[in-house]
Amino acid sequence: MSKPANLPQQLDHMLRQAVALQQNGALAEAEELYREILELKPRHVDALQLLGAIALQTGRLPQGIEWLKKALAIDARRAPVHSNLAYALNALGRFAEALSSADRALALQPKFADALNNRGNAQAGLDRPLDALASFDRALTAMPDFAQAWNNRACVLRDLGRPADALDSCDHALALQPAYAEAWSNRGNAFSDLNQPAEAERSYRRALELAPAFADAWNNLGLTQVDLGLHTQALESYGQALNIDADAAETHWNKALCLLQLGQFEAGWREYEWRWARNRIKAARRVFAQPLWQGEFSLEGRTILLHAEQGLGDTLQFCRYAPLVSALGAKVVLEVPRELMRLMDTLDGVDHLVEDGATLPPFDCHCPLLSLPLAFVTSRGTALESIPSHTPYLFADPAASRQWRARIDAHAQGRLKVGLVWAGGNRPHVAELRKNDARRSITFEQMMPLLDIPNVQFFSVQKGPPADQLTAHPRCEEVVDLTAELHDFADTAALVANLDLVISVDTSTAHLAGALAVPVWILNRFDTCWRWLLDRADTPWYPQARLFRQPALGDWTSAIGAARAALAELAASRDAQRSS
């Protein structure tokens, strides 16, 4: 087939026609015309890049990337094409490639706002929030009315722990584009970070009015409903999100936590397996040639590797399943972090203890510790009423315990011996964990009402940077601090085993006390961790534990006040017994 003599004019006419169709939303018709242009001239760079743009608009990202790369192979000097390629690569999570494409666009056009915005998104995806913020700020200098850049800027400000600034950035985006559903949802996220769940809920609902199929907004609404104590409604919101995106790992994870909080264990443990699909956790998933055991086959005569995951408190709580696994006829290899090695040597049912990172002995199958509740649901029925709650299942070293006893008793001189922990770990690099860590922790100053109780000797069991709050406090002399001598959890166990009571926020020390069967009072945030369930002062995990819950989000005054009253009663009772 011969080409017409006036081909350049014909191609130009077809291109103008296709662009007009694309601008008016007739994408299928525009795409057909671009393809006809490419049949006549396969290296028509405008048709290639505009086909790529349509593919991106219609969600066909890999195909869009292919068209854009073909266009750039012909003419690499087109900054908008490099920027569009960066957008598509970001959407696929290929952030390093996206950053390279954005940088190529900016080398050609340094103040190109769209490329700066895509560059910021790539940097955010690479966990470089400060660099991302600088890119968004440059984009907004070049184009102050760029609503998407204001919205994206809000996301990295949250990552940087600046929720008030993030809220301001969202409001800028919404002033420019009032129907911007994603900005409304991010506004809700900022309010959530500011512990204002009612305002967060209003923003999420506005996002969903504008975009009813916005799965992330449904998921975020569920999270804020948990903050409001509306767990049944939260499950409905998660259900809406999963109807839209059935494979959304974060929503499955949030649903799992909500089900577990409600005591719906069988469904909750099954959903909890979605944790391995989460971006934050999936890199830590252990992959072995040996099969995963979840209760579906007999362990008789087999060797199973049980391996720790997540936090130290999780390991202290779920190592209780090792004796149950052993009772199924298995030899148990338990792998734990170094800080727990000496303490875990006291755990029944473990045939071989291995430090995390050391060479593993031969084994036939494996199971992460926090999958064991599901395995026992499968094999022989573990429910709320049948949690393996016998304590103690961990023990202090007898010789070390005797040495600590003499020192602690000398300080206490017959008074009630109470350990204090006021702060958990701080993981500022992960927004989700940063918020939880801040919500579960208090300051030493907030413990002051407890120190006024007579006939009590307090001991610090606080480790890490928050321990410095005691040293710097005017009343530091009232709390005995021997924590410099605590080098691992076996040392801490020897101290804790000699206390009458531990009062702690939700930390690994609370789990340690519970596992040792030492009475522990847990100062618990309103948006409780799933393991403490809802609306109860006890816990089926630790018979010696008592929960003092915030009655509303952030209300530590009430929780500490209730603990103070209980401590005063306990101290008075103890003093009366001594007197009689």
Could you confirm whether domain 398-579 is CATH 3.40.50.2000? yes
The CA distance from 48 to 42, in Å, is 9
Instruction: Write down the pLDDT at residue 29.
Output: 73
The CA distance from 315 to 309, in Å, is 7
61 or 268, which is more confident? 268
Instruction: Write down the pLDDT at residue 373.
Output: 94
Buried b (16+ CB within 10 A) or exposed e, 30-40: bbebbeebbee
Residue type, 540: P
pTM score, whole prediction: 0.88
pLDDT tens digits along 25-38 = 767 776 676 677 66
How many Cβ atoms are within 10 Å of 418's Cβ, its own excluded? 25
CA atoms 238, 244, 247, 250: torsion sign: negative
> Which residue in 13, 53, 18, 48 sits closest to 33, CA to CA?
18
380 or 164, which is more confident? 164
398-579 matches 301-386 in CATH topology: yes
How many Cβ atoms are within 10 Å of 559's Cβ, its own excluded? 22
Q: What residues does each domain of the chain span?
A: 301-386, 398-579
Between 3.40.50, 1.20.272, 1.10.12, 3.40.1350, what CATH number should domain 301-386 receive? 3.40.50
pLDDT tens digits along 69-118 = 887 788 889 898 899 889 999 988 999 999 999 999 999 999 999 999 99
pLDDT tens digits along 413-451 = 999 999 999 998 766 556 666 777 888 999 999 999 999
The CA distance from 446 to 525, in Å, is 14
Query: With bands split at pLDDT 50, 70 and 90, how would you rate the model's confidence at 325?
Result: very high
